[in-house]
Structure 1
Amino acid sequence: MSPMAQAIEVYKTDTDRVEFSGRLAAFAVIQDGAHDEIYNGGSRVRLIHEHRFEQGWSSIIRAEWGFDPWFKDGTDAHYKRMLYAGAAHEKWGSFTVGKQYGPWYDMVAVNTD
């Protein structure tokens, strides 16, 4: 069970945008017809800032944290999933530097891709 991420624009002008978003996601294990508890299925909260400069350039800043809203281990078990910044151009594309976890890290192994 995972609904679409919900987003709120906190601040927006012609040149700036600040957005707060996230999602609650859960899964349950059912084994031999018995219901186990609900587990975290990738819940996260995100903060985005973008600023448009002249001549097609803009800045990119993203921060995202994963967390466990069901406190399975007694804490919210939060961790940084994304933290990066960069620049983008309408014609030339974008360049970012930072940390980003992908599906491989979250679901299979413990490597950052």
Structure 2
Amino acid sequence: MPSMQQKLADQIRANEESFQTIFTALDAGESHEGQDPMDSLHEEPLEVALQRQVTIVLTTGGPHVEIVAALDAEGNTTRASWHSYWGGETVEKVIGSDEAAYRAIEYFVEGVLVA
């Protein structure tokens, strides 16, 4: 039985292959699965969302620690997480809206948006 990591990698690979066949057909001026390649392309995503991201770097070197937060159109935090890197290792941890780090994000984002 494949692991979850393998299942996720397989899904990414399937999406990559789908885009490849669509653009190969488009570049060759051919149809893709019996339809215009652009129609196929538009059927691929479930959603296309434009979001802004803020990164708050807290330490560099060993280790590098930062907070990464996605912002909606109004500048509100929609998700946030800690990211730490050192020696090729990575740790990520979700930040809940009830945590102090979340409040820090809101403070710094407000300062950036006002400036």
Flag the structure with higher strand content. Answer: 1
Flag the structure with higher helix content. Answer: 2
Is TM more than 0.5 here? no
Instruction: Compute the TM-score of the two structures, normalised by the length of structure 1.
Output: 0.30
Between 1 and 2, higher relative CO (CA 8 Å, sep ≥ 6) is seen in 1
Larger CA Rg, structure 1 vs 2: 2
